[in-house]
Structure 1
């Protein structure tokens, strides 16, 4: 059991090299939040249009399949 513990522990050590420091994550989170904030107003306006377009498309498709 001890060998398994050490094998798992030492195999996980290289993975810590891929985890960025917290200060880099803060910049990434700020960038993602800004992108979401900028696209949020567009998505709210575009969603009803997209919904109506798909609704019309599926209605047309169902009418063709029934006929």
Structure 2
């Protein structure tokens, strides 16, 4: 059982290299929040246009299926 524990612990060790320290993670979260806040104006305009485009593309396909 001890061998299994060490095997799992040593195999998970490289994964810790991919996780940033918490102080860096805080800066990343702050940057993502700023990005989302600044892009919300564009997405509120783009979503209705994209949904209208998908409806225009999918409506003929749905009529063919019926």
TM bracket, shorter-chain basis = 0.7 to 0.9
Q: TM-score, normalised by structure 1?
A: 0.76
Partner of 1:24: 24
Residue of structure 2 equivalent to 1:8: 8
1:65 Cα deviation after fit:
7.0
Q: Which has the larger radius of gyration?
A: 1
CA deviation map 1:46-65 (0-9, x unaligned): 11111111111222444567
Structure 1 spans left out of the alignment, 5+ residues:
none
Q: Does 1:44 align with 2:49?
A: no
The RMSD of aligned alpha carbons is 1.9
SS of match in other structure, 1:51? helix
Distance in 1 (CA, whole Å) between partners of 2:14 and 2:52 is 50
Instruction: Quote the offset at 1:39 in angstroms.
Output: 1.0
Distance 1:5-1:45 versus aligned 2 partners, 3 A rule: same
Count of paired positions? 66
